[in-house]
Homo-oligomer: A and B are copies of this chain.
Amino acid sequence: MRYHRSDVVERAVAVLDEYGLESLTMRRLASELGVQPSALYHHVPNKQSLLAAVADEILQRGSRPRRAERWDRRVIEICGELRDAMLAYRDGAEVVVTAHTFGLGAREPAAALRSALADGGLPEDLVDVGTRAILHLVFGHTVEEQTAMQAASAGAIDRNPGGAADFEQGLHLLLDGLRARVSAA
């Protein structure tokens, strides 16, 4: 059986979703494909870049058409899509956030937010600050939400970090600040 890079990435997503990030090892993935661990290094330079590819695959699978016209509605749309995409796979938020932190993959959401804020007429430095702030909010909220969900389904009834409603409420706090800067410009 001969594989391509896309087969490896797709199987990695499946292993992640079924067994979790801590079980997504090169050796485990190799045995899942019926291949020696060393064979994976023909398709991927190392584990880090495999995880980046997994992050991009998760985001791409969750992508939806853009419908909103107003810049602030578009921000909400992008953030909702991003949250849903990450929540759709076990440990999806952790994987996407880590990839973004190390600057490998997961670049699309930042670009989409940037252009929405730019369309809103914000000055360039505020586009930068705003994009990062929104992204940090979405990432932080979603990692916490997913961790709590998975902890709850594994037994312990921890604190709940709020779902979609709290997510949107936090986002609106930030959007208020940004809107105030648009009208002031």
Interface residues of A (CB under 8 A from B): 101-103, 125-126, 128-130, 132-133, 135-137, 139-141, 143-144, 147, 151, 158-159, 161-162, 166, 169-170, 172-178, 180-181
Contact = CB atoms under 8 A, between A and B. Distances in A.
Q: Which 7 A-B pairs have the closest CB atoms?
A: A136-B140, A173-B177, A176-B177, A133-B170, A129-B169, A177-B177, A129-B170
Contacts of A143: 101
A36 B79 CA distance: 48
A76 to B, nearest CB: 14
A128 B162 contact: yes
Given A101-B147, A136-B137, 10 more contacts: A125-B169, A129-B169, A129-B173, A132-B161, A133-B141, A133-B173, A133-B174, A137-B137, A140-B140, A173-B178
Nearest to A97: B140
A141 B137 contact: no
Q: Is the interface of A mostly helix, strand, loop or mixed?
A: helix
Nearest to A170: B133
A159 B136 CA distance: 16
Contacts of A159: 103
A132 B145 CA distance: 11
Contacts of A161: 132
A128 to B, nearest CB: 7
Given A135-B140, A140-B140, A144-B101, A176 B166 contact: no
